[in-house]
Chains A and B, each alone.
Chain A
Amino acid sequence: MEMDWIWGLIGGLLIGTGGAVYLLANGRIMGASGIIGGLVDGTGLAQKWERLAFLAGVVVLPILIYPYYGHVDTHVSDNWAVLIAAGLLVGVGTRVANGCTSGHGVCGIPRLSLRGMAATMVYILAGGVGVVLFRHILGVI
C-alpha cells in the first residue's frame, strides 16, 4: 500500500509514453473509447488494423506481466445489474462526450485542450458523486 503511489507514477509514465508513441509515430490520439468505439460503430474501420494492433497490445502486455504478480484481485463487483448499468453508461457516455480518461485526460489536458479539461473535471465530479450516491446513500456497491 505504501508503495502504491510509486507504481502509480511508473505506470502513469508508461501510459503517457504509449500516448506519445501513438501521437508522434502514428499521428493518432490515444483515446481508448475512440479506438474501440470507431470499430464498434464502423466510423473507424478505415484504420481497423491499426486499432486492433493497439488493442492487442493493451491485452497482451498484461498477460506477459501477470505471471510475475501471481494473483491480481481487481475487486470487481459480482452484481451483474451494476456491471451492465455501468458498462452502458461508460459506453454511451464516452461516445457522446467523444473521449474518456485516456483521450480527454491523458492526451487532452497536456494539449491544453479546453474540452479535455472540462470533460475531465465533469467526469471526475460525476464519478465522485456516483460513488457517494451508489456506495454511501444507496449502498449498491
Chain B
Amino acid sequence: MRNLFAFIAGGLFGAGLFVSGMTDTSKVQGWLDVFGAWDPTLAFVMGGAMIPMFIAWRLRERRSAPVLGGTFPPTPPQKLDRGLIGGSVMFGMGWGLAGLCPGPSVASLSYGGTGHWVFFAAMIAGMAITPNLRRLLDKAPATA
C-alpha cells in the first residue's frame, strides 16, 4: 500500500513536471534569465504547487499519524548553516547552467535524449561522492 501511494505521488509529480513544461530547460533558464526574454512559467508552477502543499501541512497538524501509519517527518532545526547556504549556491549554479534540477531530470529520462542521461549520471555521481566530500571538509582545518 505504501508503495502504491508512493507511485501515485510520484506519478502526480512526474505528470505535473511534464505538463508544466518544467522539463524544458529553456523555460527554466528563461525564468532565471532576468536579462533575457523572461519566461514567467516557473513562478506559476511553484505558486500552484504550494497551494495543495500549504493545505496538506494544515491537515497534517490535525493528524497524529500519516494515513498509512508510521510517523510524520520531524520538524528540522531551523538553523541556517554553511551547508544549507553553500550547497544551495552550488545547486543554483548547476540549475542555471543546465536548466535541470533533480525532479525534472528524472521525469525527462524517457524522452529527453542522451543529454538528459549525461546530466542524470553526473548528478548521481555528485550525490555518491558527497559523503566523502563531507568527510574531507570536516578534516580540513576550518578557515572561515
A and B bound?
Answer: yes
CA distance A123 to B39 in the complex (A): 18
**Residues B53 and A19 in contact, CB atoms below 8 Å apart:** yes
Given A58-B10, A93-B89: A23 touches B96 (CB 8 Å cut-off): no
* CB-based contact A10/B86 at 8 Å: no
Give how many B residues have a beta carbon under 8 Å from the other chain's beta carbons. 115
Chain B residues within 8 Å of A17, by CB: 12, 16, 52
> Which residues of chain A come closer than 8 Å to B112, judged between CB atoms?
74, 76
- Cα separation A17 to B102 with both chains bound (whole Å): 18
Q: State whether B33 touches A14 (Cβ < 8 A).
A: no
Return B13 CB to nearest CB of chain A, in Å: 4
Q: Chain A residues in contact with chain B, CB under 8 A?
A: 4-30, 32-33, 36-37, 40-41, 49-51, 53-63, 65-66, 72-78, 80, 82-98, 100-102, 104-107, 109-115, 118-120, 122-136, 140-141
Can you sample 11 A-B contacts with CB below 8 Å? A30-B13, A33-B101, A53-B10, A55-B10, A87-B120, A89-B90, A94-B87, A95-B130, A96-B83, A106-B49, A122-B85
